């Protein structure tokens, strides 16, 4: 088990309360030209190859790779593919929905009810963190577990907050409840090695697209 002082670790499939196979549906966007960068995260939502991520992940990748179709995306244990097309993007809310027929038929996550997070369940945030110092993860899926915090996110009222740290590269990763259902996506966070670290989440209720 690789772990660190602030709660980000490799997921222990024996301790997850939901089916661990869901981890195969979490995607990693391009590592950029620098092999120490993870770019961002996302996840498959249906058997048609539909992916949800944070809009800023795709914006950054498009600026680097010039065209969305050239942006590489990979799933655990599979080679990177290209050829993504855009279904919908909302830069203000910070989500994007993409699709590729090359990803059709692969395992996907189940979507929970499109409602806000609450205190009924702990939440697991998954993503592919950038490499750093004594936590040398690269293209390795990691997890951070947290509870719902009632305090508002002052800089963006549509976001909700969890009591856990997330690292650069988690953006676009899924927030999963104890039933194994996606309840939101990670869009920002803090990491100060203290109990005050937080993860800012866009709940599914803010995504207008008719998800399955």
Given pLDDT bands bounded at 50, 70 and 90, which one contains residue 168?
A: confident
In a domain, 201, yes or no: yes
pLDDT given at position 1? 32
In a domain, 12, yes or no: no
Range of the domain at 119: 110-206
In a domain, 91, yes or no: yes
- Distance between CA atoms of 22 and 175, rounded to whole angstroms? 12
In a domain, 67, yes or no: yes
Let me know whether 115 and 198 are in one domain.
yes
Let me know whether 96 and 132 are in one domain.
no
Percentage of the chain beyond pLDDT 70 is 84
- Distance between CA atoms of 93 and 22, rounded to whole angstroms? 25
pLDDT given at position 13? 80
Lowest mean pLDDT, pick from 19-23, 97-101, 170-174, 201-205: 19-23
Tokens 């920002």 -> residue? 188
Q: Enter the DSSP assignment of 194.
A: S
Let me know whether 116 and 68 are in one domain.
no
In a domain, 11, yes or no: no
Let me know whether 153 and 174 are in one domain.
yes
Given pLDDT bands bounded at 50, 70 and 90, which one contains residue 124?
A: very high
Instruction: Judge whether 45 and 176 are in contact, CB under 8 Å.
Output: no
Of 86, 103, 120, the residue at which a domain comes to its end is 103
pLDDT given at position 15? 85
Phi and psi (nearest 5°) for 113? -60, 145
Percentage of the chain beyond pLDDT 90 is 41
Let me know whether 129 and 193 are in one domain.
yes
Of 76, 103, 130, the residue at which a domain comes to its end is 103
- CATH code at position 168: 2.40.10.10
In a domain, 182, yes or no: yes
Residues 181-199 pLDDT 10s? 999 999 998 766 666 788 9
In a domain, 151, yes or no: yes
Domain total of the chain: 2
Let me know whether 186 and 139 are in one domain.
yes
pTM: 0.88
pLDDT given at position 162? 93
Residues 100-112, mean pLDDT to the nearest whole number: 91
pLDDT given at position 34? 56
Residue 2 in this model has a pLDDT that exceeds 80: no
Of 103, 130, 149, the residue at which a domain comes to its end is 103
């Amino acid at each position: 088990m690789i772990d660190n002082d602030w709660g980000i670790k490799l997921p222990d499939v024996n301790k997850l309360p939901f089916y661990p196979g869901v981890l195969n549906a979490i995607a990693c966007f391009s590592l950029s030209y620098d092999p120490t960068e993870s770019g961002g995260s996302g996840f498959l939502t249906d058997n048609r190859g539909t992916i949800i991520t944070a809009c800023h992940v795709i914006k950054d990748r498009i600026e680097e790779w010039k065209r969305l179709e050239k942006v590489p995306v990979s799933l655990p244990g599979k080679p990177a593919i290209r050829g993504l097309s855009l279904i919908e993007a909302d830069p203000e809310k910070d989500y994007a929905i993409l699709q590729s027929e090359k990803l059709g038929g692969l395992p996907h996550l189940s979507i929970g009810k499109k409602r806000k997070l609450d205190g009924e369940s702990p939440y697991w945030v998954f993503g592919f963190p950038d490499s750093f110092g004594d936590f040398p993860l690269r293209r390795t899926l990691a997890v951070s577990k947290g509870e719902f915090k009632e305090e508002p996110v002052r800089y963006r009222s549509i976001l909700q907050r969890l009591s856990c740290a997330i690292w650069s590269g988690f953006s676009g990763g899924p927030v999963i409840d104890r039933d194994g259902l996606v309840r939101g996506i990670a869009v920002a966070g803090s990491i100060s090695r203290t109990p005050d670290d937080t993860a800012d989440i866009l709940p599914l209720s803010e995504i207008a697209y008719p998800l399955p």
